[in-house]
Amino acid sequence: MAPLTRDEAQTRAEMLAVDRYTIDLDLTRGEQTFGSTTIIRFAAVRDGDTFAELRPAALRRAVLDGRELDPGTLADGRLPLPGLTAGDHELRVEADMPYSRTGEGMHRFTDPADGHTYLYTMCALTEAPLVYACFDQPDLKAVLEVTVTAPPDWTVLANGVATRAEGEPGRWTCAPTPPLSTYLLAVAAGPWHSVRTEHAGLPFGLHVRRSLAAHLDADAEEILDITRRCYDRYHEIFDEPYPFDSYDQAFVPEFNAGAMENPGLVTFRDEFVFRSAVTATQRQTRGMVIAHEMAHMWFGDLVTLRWWDDIWLNESFAEYMGYQVLSEATGYRDTWTEFAVRRKGWGYDADQRPSTHPVAPEPDDVPDTAAAWLNFDGISYAKGASALRQLVAWLGEKDFLAGINDHFARHRFGNATLADFIDSLARASGRDVQGWAARWLRTSGPDTLTPEITGGADSGDGWRLRLRHTGGRPHRLLLGAYDLAPAEGGGRDTGTVVLRERTAIDLPAGDGTGEHTFPGPRPDLLVVNDTDLTYAKVRLDPVSWRTARQVLPSLPGSLTRSVVWNAARDMVRDAELDPMEYLGTARRNLAAEPDLAIVEGVLDFARGQIADRYLPASRRGEALGLLGELAGELLARTEDGGDPGRRLTAVRVAIRSATAPGTLRAWWEAGSVPGGPVLDPELRWLLLHRLAVLGATDPREIQAEAGRDPSAAGEQGAARCRAALPDSGAKEAAWEAMFGEADTLSNRLFSATGQGFWHPEQHELLQPWTERWFPAAVALAERRGHALAEAAVNDAFPHVFGSDRLLRLGEEHLAGTELTPTLRRRLTDALDDMRRALRVRHG
């Protein structure tokens, strides 16, 4: 399909006004296609030609104002509409549409647990034409009126309340929506298990496939409680009431994203219905996603971007509000710590790659929808949310929310741009928000703040801070000064610090060095950007880093500790800190860390980045040994069973870091870890996967476990384990399943197979496949599109086999091969990550 250009969209928006889509979907036509009949009522403001988008298996009929159009004119997903005259028009399109197995358009899934089939739409960003004929751009909003024919025992869900038609089994009518963008259409159909309630006069519902019914029932009250609390909090801070007629949340299988903000019917990946034990951090993450998607009901659905250069207006706002509202409305009070230690690193990493871009790109930087797909990244989400947090610190929350409410009032059920948003904030605050936005939203790359401390020994002349600032943005931040605590009997406790003071400073725009003088002796530990108010890489001076290594768990405030851990993470990534020193710091401090989100975030970086990518093979065993020791200490500290989440985290890292199968095999045979936990399905597949990597299991045992767990997650776990076996035949079979032209794997089975394939332990065996990846991925991206191109890099690229040779080969393909935009962007990022890992590895 030809991407829609910004110029084409602007021309069409100037020509057309769309009133209504009447969409009739027939889901009873078999396993390959469904019927889609669309009537579009629209007006042309002048004479001219245009086109509608449609990507059918077969176009049966197209009728414009009673005149038959030639179906053969459909090309590249575009149906020409020539010779329009000014005035009202009606286009009727009848088509057979293809079901998807890649999570795009109308995805079809048959549950291996019970054989039931489920369907759901994913129309963002450009996939609506895989479901219905439309003018597929965000600024041509229209009413969506949907009817669906489904098997009689199915339930249909949609943006508006869906009701069964009397006397017509399987026929459903969905309430017309307010004006919406085409990408927000949502339909989900199947024999759903539902939990329904009512809140604030609106129907609320939770929906999941039947095989997960018991797990949803176990968590339904928690999910609904968070939903109600967030809904009420948004009504406290927003003047505009919730703008739709219901609030359904469907947890759907094989979903590519975390969730999608379809108004009235939010879709989530169904891994958020937990079927195994999880930590409090994972539950908090689910709560944040619920709050994030609800924020979109206002910012994204009520008021929508005009073109995709402003995707940050949707995602950054929802990301910020998700964390903030969850912390204000629920029992999760430390949400920003999880953001700092997990999400923010995503933003910093993306912002240092060649593909970095401003939070709000210039319109010309997003010339078409193919380019727009590339900006759903850590910059549009995490960096943008960080920028908004800094904006709130600068404006104050009162003026910020006043500007938001002005924005909603001016553009409700319409479209808006960055300029509109900035104007609303400026009106509410009287501040130069335009100048702030130019520095924060129109520039790329992170700032770096580096402290240099002199004086303040014992002379009483005070201490002086020179704060070097590169990157040029203005910052409002805190400096935290900490001292070693007094020890009993005199002296100082070298393992504990206390806060001396936090000082607010404003760094002006522009590179430079600021000078600050403070009374008294120099602090033992200075934390720049204490409590993490701004977005910048920070450094610790040598004295502060030596102190931090000894006292990290005693630092008051989880956000302060996350800033220190992030500083250490950045120093490793910039080859300024030996990765083994980071691991040694984790080994010394992490078992006593009070906040589980920090424990999980540090362990993920240590295991997934340092052990697998940043260390040469000669040091990897030592790294895994340190992580195993740390896991053992965490297990020892939780023997009383009082902290099951911390114990579960320890078990996970112990499994992932095992270098020999003995202990794992003993746990497997016993069905539990000594002292708990019992091996539930998630732990069993994690453990069996590690045994497969180590060559300590076989296909027969994997098949037996798949029979024990005949679920979709079990199917994916088995695919992951089979691909991990250190056997050339198993590797070839996995490779053919992923990249062979049969294309039988769904999106999630492809990802699972890719996640099982590459392991440092199998370096020699896998060398022949490293070079095969490049032509295989190029062909796959051409055949299977955006979602599988992403998965080919994210999940199936040899990230852990970084070498100068592989890097050169990748660069040659970037320079000399025609790649789809998605594959080019993701490969560029992967190679840059490899380049960074090699710099760190070579010191």
Give the angle subtended at the CA of 748 by the CAs of 742 and 753, to the nearest 5°: 70
- Does 686 sit behind a cis peptide bond, omega within 30 degrees of 0 on the bond before it? no
Q: DSSP assignment, residue 131?
A: T
Find, among 281, 335, 277, the residue nearest to 601 by Cα.
281
Helix, strand, coil tally for the chain in percent (to 5): 50, 25, 30
Find, among 368, 356, 261, 385, the residue nearest to 309 by Cα.
368
- Cβ contact 656:606 at 8 Å: no
Handedness of CA 647, 648, 653, 654 (dihedral sign): positive
- From CA 801, how far away is CA 806, in angstroms rounded? 8
Q: Name the token pair of 562.
A: 């996350």
Q: Could you tell me how many helices (H) and strands (E) the chain has, helices first?
A: 27, 28
Widest distance between CA atoms in the chain = 96
- Cβ contact 470:511 at 8 Å: yes
Q: Please state, as a whole number, how many other Cβ atoms lie within 10 Å of the Cβ of residue 543.
A: 14
- From CA 299, how far away is CA 341, in angstroms rounded? 26
Q: DSSP assignment, residue 263?
A: T
521-to-380, 452, 495, 500 alpha-carbon distances in Å: 42, 15, 19, 11
In single-letter form, the type of residue at position 226 comes to I
- Cβ contact 289:338 at 8 Å: no
Q: Looking up tokens 């924020």, which residue turns up?
A: 295
| Edge-to-edge order in the sheet of strand 475-486 | 492-507, 475-486, 525-528
Q: Name the token pair of 797.
A: 């690229």
Q: What is the CA radius of gyration of the chain?
A: 28
- Does 579 sit behind a cis peptide bond, omega within 30 degrees of 0 on the bond before it? no
- From CA 642, how far away is CA 645, in angstroms rounded? 9
| 293 given a catalytic annotation | yes
560-to-56, 336, 337 alpha-carbon distances in Å: 54, 11, 9
- From CA 251, how far away is CA 248, in angstroms rounded? 10
- Cβ contact 305:313 at 8 Å: yes
Q: Please state, as a whole number, how many other Cβ atoms lie within 10 Å of the Cβ of residue 790.
A: 20
- Cβ contact 133:95 at 8 Å: yes
In single-letter form, the type of residue at position 766 comes to L
Q: Please state, as a whole number, how many other Cβ atoms lie within 10 Å of the Cβ of residue 351.
A: 22
Handedness of CA 766, 772, 777, 779 (dihedral sign): negative
Active-site position among 127, 293, 705, 715: 293
Q: Name the token pair of 34.
A: 């469904």
- Cβ contact 97:26 at 8 Å: no
What's the burial of 625, exposed, middle or buried (CB within 10 Å: 0-12/13-18/19+)?
Answer: middle
Find, among 189, 164, 166, 183, the residue nearest to 174 by Cα.
164
Q: Looking up tokens 């335009």, which residue turns up?
A: 434
Give the angle subtended at the CA of 263 by the CAs of 182 and 112, to the nearest 5°: 90
Find, among 222, 324, 230, 219, the residue nearest to 274 by Cα.
219
30-to-26, 54, 105, 131, 173 alpha-carbon distances in Å: 10, 20, 17, 16, 21
509 Ramachandran zone, left/alpha/beta (phi>0; psi -120 to 50): beta
Catalytic annotation, residues: 293
